[in-house]
Amino acid sequence: MIPIAYSAEVAAARKSGAAVVALESTIITHGMPYPQNIEVARQVEDDIRANGAVPATIAVIDGTLHIGLEDAQLGQLAQAKGVAKLSRADMAACIATGGTGATTVAATMIAARLAGIAVFATGGIGGVHKGAENSFDISADLMELAQTPVTVVAAGAKAILDVEKTLEVLETQGVPVIAYQQDAFPAFWSRGSKLKAPLRMDDPAQIATAHLMRAQLGLPGGQLVANPIPQESEIPSAELAPIIATAQADANRAGITGKGVTPYLLQRIFELTEGRSLTANIALVRNNARLASLIAIELSKKA
Ligand code: PSU
Ligand code: MN
């Protein structure tokens, strides 16, 4: 038996059939500094409630898989030191040893599927890192999208990644990549990019229907919805490119590898932009939470 605990709010939603949106916790523990991380975590949960759905932030605490955190648990996690970063490979071991860990996109998808939650909002997914032809650093998030039936709303892929290679791997893995209300694949901190998204949808109801259609066709896996950052919050990519190059060079010089790469780059870019990257990150996560809520509500109508 999996030691699993639902928050009061999520338990009630499961009974009533209300729409639920999953949220990851790595963004809280490894993606943003304290105290902004807890402010954002609470704000995003409130955005989901304001849009008529129920938030389920996912984490492993003392060996229990939590689907939805009570506010005190969220507060503790945001300040805890040395929390593990859990991807597909780490989840079972963390639960088995009574550990505490924050879930990445891959691990959050696994937990959401177990709990019957079809929609998940985050900031950015992991992908193929620059220099992957040497490092082989490809996030397990991409393979998770290929096998676990959860629709993930993100703001595209970060420019810390090799976005072209990330899209190629998603295509190889058969993952639908759907830009929302535009043709371009959004570049996280910027709305546009040189790359056209493979698919475009303008209506949350269509995204919900496509999610169900995959299951009906017998196809495994989820969908990646790429939702552009709100215009007033974007940072032009020309401005970010040299900063990302510096952060990448620093990571290489410091010998950062494996799970440490993404958190290191995010922290370094935060410093180099004097916090602007974080302000943009907050705006796009909230925007993704809104769209995820609309999709989850459409799905609950079709259930
Ligand atoms: N992108 C962000 N913020 C994050 C992450 C990605 O903008 O916090 C986190 C997510 O949890 C994602 C993980 O699943 O990093 C990917 O890590 P890796 O590249 O080690 O697979
Ligand atoms: Mn990696």
Q: What average pLDDT values come out for the chain (303 residues) when binned by 10 residues? A: 97 97 97 94 98 98 98 97 96 98 98 98 95 95 98 91 96 98 95 94 98 98 98 91 94 93 92 93 97 98 89
Q: Which atom of ligand 1 is nearest to the CA of 106?
A: 14
- In this structure, the residue with its CA closest to atom 21 of ligand 1 is 139
The rounded distance, in Å, linking the Cα atoms of 11 and 85 is 26
C-alpha of residue 103 to centroid of ligand 2, in Å: 14
Do 35 and 44 touch, CB atoms closer than 8 A?
A: no
Q: Residue 159: what pLDDT?
A: 78
Which of 23, 32, 105 has most ligand 1 atoms within 8 Å of its beta carbon, as the pocket-test mutant? 105
List beta partners, residue 177. Answer: 224
For 1-60, the pLDDT digits (tens) are 999 999 999 999 999 999 999 999 999 999 999 999 999 999 999 999 999 999 999 999
**Binding pocket residue ranges, ligand 1, CB within 6 Å:** 24, 26-27, 30-31, 87, 104-105, 123-126, 139-141, 158, 259, 262, 266
Note if 158 is an active site residue: yes
CA angle 7, 226, 208 (to 5 degrees): 60
Position in ligand 1 atom list of the atom nearest CA 262: 19
Domain boundaries, the chain: 1-117, 122-303
**Does the ipTM surpass 0.95?**
yes
Q: Domain 122-303 carries which CATH code?
A: 3.40.1790.10
The reported pLDDT for the residue numbered 66 is 98
137 in a known ligand binding site: yes
Distance from Cα 31 to the centre of ligand 1, integer Å: 7
Q: Is 139 annotated as a binding residue?
A: yes
**Cβ-based burial of 233 (10 A; exposed 0-12, middle 13-18, buried ≥19):** middle
Ligand 1 atom 20: the closest Cα is on which residue? Answer: 259
- For ligand 1, atom 10, name the residue with the nearest CA: 104
| pLDDT for res 19 | 98
Q: Is 130 a catalytic residue?
A: no
CA of 299 to the centre of ligand 2 (A): 32
pTM of the complete model = 0.97
For residue 157, how far is its CA from the centre of ligand 1 (angstroms)? 10
190 is in an annotated binding site: no
Q: Find out whether 271 and 246 touch, Cβ atoms under 8 Å.
A: no
d(C-alpha 163, C-alpha 106), whole Å:
18
- Looking at ligand 1, which residue's alpha carbon is closest to its atom 1? 124
Q: Which helix (H) or strand (E) holds 48?
A: helix 36-50
Same topology, domains 1-117 and 122-303? Answer is yes
Catalytic residue among 9, 24, 144, 234: 24
CATH number corresponding to 1-117:
3.40.1790.10
